[in-house]
Structure 1
Amino acid sequence: MRTGLFIQTGLRGVEREESLRYISKMLPLSVVLFGNDFSNEKELTELISKINHIYVVENNVPAPFIAVDQEGGNVVRIPWIDYSPSNLFLGKLDNPEFTNYVGMLTGYQLNSLGIRWNLAPVLDTLNGYNPVILERSFGSDLETIGKHGAEFIKGIQSYDVRATAKHFPGHGSVMVDSHVDLPEDKRNVESIINDSYPFRKAIDEGVSSIMLSHVLYNSLDENYPATLSAEVQKLLRHSFNYRNLIISDSMDMKAVKGRYDVSEIIKGSIKNEVDVIENADIVGSMEFYEQIQNIDTALLKPKEERIMQFMQPFKKLSYKPSPLLMRSVETVSSRIRRRKILNPDIEADLVLMDSKDESQVAEISKSTNLVSTHLADLNLKLKLHYGTEFLENMKESGRQIILVGRNEHLRSRVNLMNAISGKNNCVFISTSFDGDIGIVSEKMGYISTYSKKPSVIVGAILKAYGFMS
C-alpha cells in the first residue's frame, strides 16, 4: 500500500528542487499548485512535466492528480485562461445552463494543462455580509446554491476533472477566517444541517470529493473542527450516505496548525472518515506521511479503495466549448443597483482603483474586441487612471467619473469616493460583493459585476451610459 495516496501536498516551505525530492519520496496522490508556484503557462507546463516524470518514469506509478483552486471570480490560480466568473455572479444570473457551460469550459482548459483536480465549487451559504466567503458563494438561497453547484460539477467533471464541494458542512455563518484562527459556529444542529443542503445536491450529482471545513460546530462537537471531528465526518459519510473521497482543508492553516499536534490531527482525520489530508507546506506533509506509515493497513484499506475509484477516468467530452458564449453573457450580466446615466458626449474619468499599471486597461481594451458592442465604436471620451491617486489629488468639480474596484475592508476608500461624489457625477462599478451599497453615497450610481473580468466591466461601463439596461 502506497502511503502517499492519503496525502495532497503543496510545494511551499523549501526551494523547488528540494520540494521535488520530497515529492519523489512521498509520491502523494495529488500535488496542489498555487499562483506563486509559476508565473506563466510555460513555467506551469514545465513544473507539471517534472512532477509527472518523477512518478511515471522514475517510479513507474501513475501520474499524480495536479490540483488547483480555480473557483472563479477573485479566487483563481491560473489567471490567463478563460476562468469562470464568481459563484455569486452565477447565482445572481441564475441560468443553470450557463453555469454548466462555465464548468465545462473550466474543465476543458484545466485538463488541457494537465490539471485533473479542481478544489471547487464553494457550496457555503452566504448568511449576510461575510468577508471570508463573499463572492465565492452562489448566494444565500439554498436551492440556488444546490442547483448551480450541481451544474458546475456536472460541467467540469464532463472533461475528466475531479470537482470538490467545499467546505462541509458550511463556512458561511462564521466571520473568522480559518487561515488565521479557529472559527466557531454556535448555531443549533438543525440550522447547520439545513445549510448543508447544497452538499446533498452535489452528492446526488456524483461529486468526486468533498472538503471538510476548519470550523468548530459546537452543537456537533465541542472540541474539534469538522476536519478532525468524528461526529461531523459520520454525518457526511453515514447520514448523507456519501461514498466518494473526503479531503481535509489544508492542515497548515492556523485554525489547526499549532492548536493540535500531528498525532492528534492524524487521529481526527485519517483514523476517522478523511481519506486524503491536504497540506500546502511540503515539510508538514512529510510529517503526516511518516505518521500514516504507522497506521494499520486494515484501517486504510477502505480509504485506498475509495482513492482507487477516484482515480478512474471519467468519460470525457471530445469537443471544446466556445469561450465566446461566456464573454457575450458576461457583458450583459452586471446588475444596476442604483441608476445614474452619464452623458456620452462629455469626457469621463475611468478610474481603475485596484490597478497599479496599464495591464487591466489593456485587458479591457482587448475585451471590447470580443463583444458585440465596442467602446471605440461609440466614440466615448474616456480618460484612464490607475489606483486612487487621481481621486486623492482631485480639486475640480462637475466631472463625470466612473470608479471601478472593490471596497471590502477599505472604508477609507469609500470615504474618498463619497467626498468626490458630492461635486461630481459619479458611477461606482463594484467588482466584488455588493454589501457596501449602504455606505456608498446615494448620490453615486452603483453597478454590481460580482467579477473583475474585463468583459463584465465593459458591459457595466455601457450600462453607466444607458446603452444597455
Structure 2
Amino acid sequence: MTFHAPLMLDIAGTELNAEDRRRLAHPLTAGLILFGRNWQSRAQITALCAQVKAIRADLLIAVDHEGGRVQRFRHDGFTHLPPMRRLGEMWLDDGRGQPGAGALKACRAATAAGFVLAAELRACGVDFSFTPVLDLDYGGSSVIGDRALARDPRVVTVLAKSLMHGLLQAGMGNCGKHFPGHGFVKADSHVDMPIDRRSLKAILAEDALPYDSLNTSLMSVMPAHVIYPKVDARPAGFSKRWLQVILREQLGFAGAIISDDLSMDGARQIDGQPVSYTQAALTALDAGCDLALLCNQSLNGGAEIDAALNGLAEAQLKGWWQPQEASEQRRRQLLPQAPALAWEDLMVSPAYQQALEYLP
C-alpha cells in the first residue's frame, strides 16, 4: 500500500496534550507548524520538539521564520534577523551611491542570515522554515512589503540563492513562496481573494523568473492564494495548470509543493463556491500539491483538524484521493539529513560567530 502523509497541522499551546498526540500520530499527518503562541523559551520549544519526534520521528516540524516582522521566536538568545528588504537595499548601495556596488556584501549577508536562521532553529529541534520569500517588491502589497528582497527578479534570485546556501550550511531545506508571485496585488489573501489580471507572459518574465532560475536549488515551493484569471479561474494553489503544467513541466521544478494555509480567506472558495477544509485539501492535492497546510484550527478544540483527517481517510478509502509515493518521498527530503549542533556548541562555533558579524 502506498504511504503518503499529506496534512500539516498546528497545536494550541506550549506543550502537547492528549488530542495533539493523537492527531500527530495519525498516519495522514505530515508535520507540525509552530506559531508564536507555542513559544515560551528555548528550553520549552526544544522539549516540545522532542515530544513531537518521540511520537513520530518522520514528522516535519516547521515554522514561518523569515526575519523582520515574520519571526516567531524573538528572545532567549534568538537573533533578531533583518527584514529581507534590507538585503536588497544593501545590494543597491554600498554607501557610495553606486547602484549594485553592494552586491557581494549583500550576498554574504544573505548567506549569513540563512545560516543563523537555520542553525538557531535546528539547535532547538525545528526542522524547517518556510523561507525564502521570492515575491517581488512592487511597493503596494501590505502583506508582502519588506518581506520581499527586491523589485528586480534577478536580484531576488541571487540573494535568495545566497540565503538558501546559508540554510543548507546549517542542514535545513528551503521553501520559495508564493508562486508565481504575490507581490503585485495589493489585497491580502489572509482576509481577501486577490486577483492579478496580468498575462502569463508578463508573470513569467517578472514574478516567476526566480522559480525558473532556482528550479534545481529549491527544495519546496508554496503557491499563492491568488487568482490569475488570464491563466486559470482558480487560485494558483488549486490550479493544475499552474502547478503541473507551468511549475512542474515548463519550469522543471521537481521538489515538494506545499499549499499555503487553507484557513486563509483566499482558500475558502473554489470556483466561486465555499468549501470545507477537507474539500480544500483534496483540491490542492489533486492540483499537484504534495502537502496541505491547515493552520490555527487547534484554537477551538481542533474539530476542524479531526474533520480534515477523517475526510482525507474517507476519500482514500472511497478512491476519491490516491496517496502518491513520490509526494511522500518529497516530504521526507525536507527533513534534515544530519544532526544539528546543540545551542551551547553553536554559540561558540566559529562559523556562527562569523555569520553574526556579517548580518546587516
TM-score of the two chains, using structure 1 as the length reference: 0.63
Q: Do the aligned partners of residues 315 and 193 (structure 1) sit closer, same or farther apart at CA in structure 2, a change above 3 Å counting?
A: farther
Q: Distance in 2 between matches of 1:201 and 1:256?
A: 28
Aligned to 1:252: 263
Once the two structures are superposed, residues 361-411 of structure 1 have per-residue CA deviations (whole angstroms, 9 ceiling, x without a partner) of: xxxxxxxxxxxxxxxxxxxxxxxxxxxxxxxxxxxxxxxxxxxxxxxxxxx
Q: Distance in 2 between matches of 1:31 and 1:329?
A: 29
Does residue 1:268 correspond to 2:283, yes or no?
yes
Q: CA deviation at 1:99?
A: 0.8
Q: 2:327 aligns with which of 270, 292, 303?
A: 303
Once the two structures are superposed, residues 158-188 of structure 1 have per-residue CA deviations (whole angstroms, 9 ceiling, x without a partner) of: 2221211100000001111111111111111
Aligned to 2:239: 229
Asked if 2 retains the 8 angstrom alpha-carbon contact of 1:183 and 1:214, the reply is yes
Aligned to 1:24: 25
Q: 1:64 aligns with which of 56, 59, 64?
A: 59
TM-score of the two chains, using structure 2 as the length reference: 0.81
Q: CA deviation at 1:114?
A: 0.8
Asked if 2 retains the 8 angstrom alpha-carbon contact of 1:125 and 1:142, the reply is yes
Q: SS at 1:216's partner residue?
A: coil
Q: CA deviation at 1:316?
A: 7.8
Q: 1:202 aligns with which of 214, 224, 228?
A: 214
Question: For residue 303 of structure 1, what is the amino acid of its counterpart?
Answer: S
Q: 1:157 aligns with which of 168, 172, 181?
A: 168
Structure 1: segments with no counterpart, 5+ residues: 56-61, 331-469
Asked if 2 retains the 8 angstrom alpha-carbon contact of 1:153 and 1:163, the reply is yes
Q: Distance in 1 between matches of 2:223 and 2:231?
A: 14
Aligned to 2:154: 143
Q: SS at 1:71's partner residue?
A: strand
Q: CA deviation at 1:83?
A: 4.0
Q: Distance in 1 between matches of 2:176 and 2:169?
A: 16
Question: For residue 25 of structure 1, what is the amino acid of its counterpart?
Answer: H
Q: Do the aligned partners of residues 124 and 286 (structure 1) sit closer, same or farther apart at CA in structure 2, a change above 3 Å counting?
A: same
Asked if 1 retains the 8 angstrom alpha-carbon contact of 2:268 and 2:280, the reply is no
Does residue 1:287 correspond to 2:307, yes or no?
yes
Higher strand share goes to which structure?
1
Once the two structures are superposed, residues 13-69 of structure 1 have per-residue CA deviations (whole angstroms, 9 ceiling, x without a partner) of: 9995132332233562221100011222222122212212222xxxxxx24221111
Q: CA deviation at 1:251?
A: 0.5
Aligned to 1:432: none
Asked if 1 retains the 8 angstrom alpha-carbon contact of 2:195 and 2:228, the reply is yes
Aligned to 1:400: none
Q: SS at 1:49's partner residue?
A: helix
Aligned to 2:199: 188
Asked if 2 retains the 8 angstrom alpha-carbon contact of 1:169 and 1:196, the reply is yes
Q: Do the aligned partners of residues 37 and 306 (structure 1) sit closer, same or farther apart at CA in structure 2, a change above 3 Å counting?
A: same
Q: Distance in 1 between matches of 2:165 and 2:219?
A: 10
Question: For residue 213 of structure 2, what is the amino acid of its counterpart?
Answer: K
Higher relative contact order (CA 8 A, sep 6+): 2
Does residue 1:87 correspond to 2:84, yes or no?
yes
Q: 1:74 aligns with which of 34, 45, 69?
A: 69
Q: Do the aligned partners of residues 257 and 13 (structure 1) sit closer, same or farther apart at CA in structure 2, a change above 3 Å counting?
A: farther
Identity fraction in percent: 24
Question: For residue 89 of structure 2, what is the amino acid of its counterpart?
Answer: K
Q: CA deviation at 1:12?
A: 4.1
Tell me how large the CA RMSD over aligned residues is.
2.6
Q: Distance in 2 between matches of 1:14 and 1:41?
A: 11
Q: Distance in 2 between matches of 1:315 and 1:242?
A: 27
Once the two structures are superposed, residues 291-325 of structure 1 have per-residue CA deviations (whole angstroms, 9 ceiling, x without a partner) of: 33333586523322323444472698995533465
